[in-house]
Amino acid sequence: MRLLSSSLWAALSLTALLAGCRGQESDQPPVHLNPNMDSQPRYDSQAESKFFEDRRTMRFPVEGTVAKGNFLENDVYATGKDGDQYVAKMPVPITESMLKRGQQQYNIYCTPCHDATGSGMGLVVTRGGYPQATNLNEAYSRTMPDGQIYGAIAYGIRNMPSYAAQIPVEDRWAVVAYVRALQFSQNASIQDVPADKRGGMPVEAAK
Ligand code: HEC
């Protein structure tokens, strides 16, 4: 009797176990005794909403919403303009790390057209047939207000598209600072190099 009942149990549990792996797929969610908010209703993006009057699942942000960290109090910093005039000098102090960042961003975004030296003869111009980009080393560019360089990046100018989507405000000023350094480097003389950094180059010969 004892033997019989234990083999019966063994057979029963084996059947139950095998029944559990029938290999059939099911659309039904598994039995979940304590759901604990594990599954909740959700919408797919672009799906129709039965809750909102306009039937849109994707909601617009509340008017005037600004993404965290994107609130710019200082108008000059955000626009490069004071009123409707471009500011002559950039509104943030220049640091070495900023110049390095500006150089990196310039080399990525501006060299295709303006060339690494700023000549305006980048590959897109010489090979791609793109309209001549402004030579950043000519007097016109060297004497333009800092805000105008910022403006070219932020808003684009005639044939140059805006780079606002690629280059955030902080980096735009870094690029402006780097363009100034580039202009200086392309128009510098040996006198501008500190004596101990001239590598023995005689001042006369370098002229
Ligand atoms: C797709 C090519 C292209 C790229 C990339 C480009 N530029 Fe330009 N840029 C131009 C062209 C073309 C002009 C001349 C626009 C005109 O006068 O029609 C120009 C003009 C300018 C000017 C003169 C603005 C003025 O007020 O006359 C500045 C400054 C300038 N670019 C800076 C930059 C900087 C900084 C970058 C990188 C963030 C950049 N550009 C990237 C094509 C480009």
Which ligand 1 atom is at minimum distance from the Cα of 140? 27
Structure tokens at 179: 């363009």
What average pLDDT does the segment 103-123 reach?
97
The DSSP string of 62-74 is PTT---TT-----
Instruction: Give the C-alpha separation, 28 to 183, whole Å.
Output: 68
Higher pLDDT, 10 or 144: 144
Structure tokens at 93: 């102090």
Give CA separation, 107 vs 26, 102, 103, 112, 176, in Å: 55, 8, 6, 8, 13
* Of 31-40, 97-106, 126-135, the least confident: 31-40
Answer whether residue 207 shows pLDDT above 60: no
Answer whether residue 152 shows pLDDT above 90: yes
Residues with CB under 6 A from ligand 1: 109-110, 112-114, 124, 130-131, 133-134, 141, 148-149, 152-153, 157-160, 163, 167, 175, 179
Could you tell me if 136 and 183 are in contact, meaning their C-beta atoms sit under 8 angstroms apart?
Answer: yes
Answer whether residue 132 shows pLDDT above 70: yes
pLDDT in tens, 38-90: 878 888 999 999 899 999 999 998 988 888 877 777 789 999 999 899 999 99
Give the containing element (helix H, strand E) for 81.
strand 81-82
| Whole-structure pTM value | 0.72
Domains and CATH numbers, the chain: 85-188 (1.10.760.10)
Secondary structure class of 101 (helix, strand, coil): helix
